[in-house]
Amino acid sequence: MNLGMVTSYIIAGMLLLGIMAMNINVQTSTTELTVSQILRSHINTVTEMLNDDIPNMGYDYEGTTLSNDDVGNKILEFGNEKRISFYRNLTGDPSRIPERIEWEFVDSTGVNFGTLIRRVYDPNDGTTDVNEINIGVHKFEIRYYDSVGEILSNNMSTPGSNVTQLNDVEQIHIIMELQSKEKIYKRATGDGRYMRSVWEKRFTPSNLHVENI
């Protein structure tokens, strides 16, 4: 057999394998980029709601909440690492009873993701608006602080429904992680990996610092 021809076939085969490997890497990178953009879009949607809800907790506090027996004269109603509920009145109408806002993360048994739920209860008409967020929420953690500027690990124990501890809360730190629902593989065999998008923020709601009357 012609040695030159054999050599040409070997070189051609090596080039073909190289091109195939490059195409696989390009496709994987494109997939990772697309999934990352989708995750960022999802997490931005959720954080827009959190950035509106959390800083506004206790809004119209002095004008409405303190004089409302049903609310119990408190901004925060409940707080643990997976759930937080609080009152606010954004309508500008002091005759309205404040709405109760609740965020809760419910772990799903046996899978890598849970459901993040936002509930808005309006006592003025008895309705509850519920939004269930099922977009690959892997982690949702809430930490509470009784002084401003504490390091992340120096959080206070979760207050639950303890009024005294709830009144001590000065800052709220939320950590959220979204993951892709399927693993991304770079080759036919071996372990793939979930794409991740992590967001965290420390909130200092101004109305938590209003002295009780």
Tell me how far CA of residue 6 lies from CA of 2, 16, 17, in angstroms. Answer: 6, 15, 17
pLDDT in tens, 3-60: 666 566 566 666 666 665 555 565 555 556 666 677 788 888 899 999 999 999 988 8
In the chain, the number of structural domains is 1
The tokens describing 177, both together, are 């992680």
2 occurs within a structural domain? no
In this predicted structure, the answer to whether residue 63 has a pLDDT above a threshold of 70 is no
Position 13 scores a pLDDT of 62
Structural domain harbouring 195 = 10-209
Q: How many CA atoms lie within 13 A of 26 on its CB side?
A: 6
CA pair distance 169, 143, nearest whole angstrom? 10
Position 119 scores a pLDDT of 97
Q: Which residue has the higher pLDDT, 7 or 139?
A: 139
Q: Which residue has the higher pLDDT, 59 or 131?
A: 131
155 occurs within a structural domain? yes
- The mean pLDDT of the chain is 81
In this predicted structure, the answer to whether residue 104 has a pLDDT above a threshold of 60 is yes
Position 72 scores a pLDDT of 61
How many other C-beta atoms can be found within 10 angstroms of the C-beta atom of residue 13?
10
1 occurs within a structural domain? no
135 occurs within a structural domain? yes
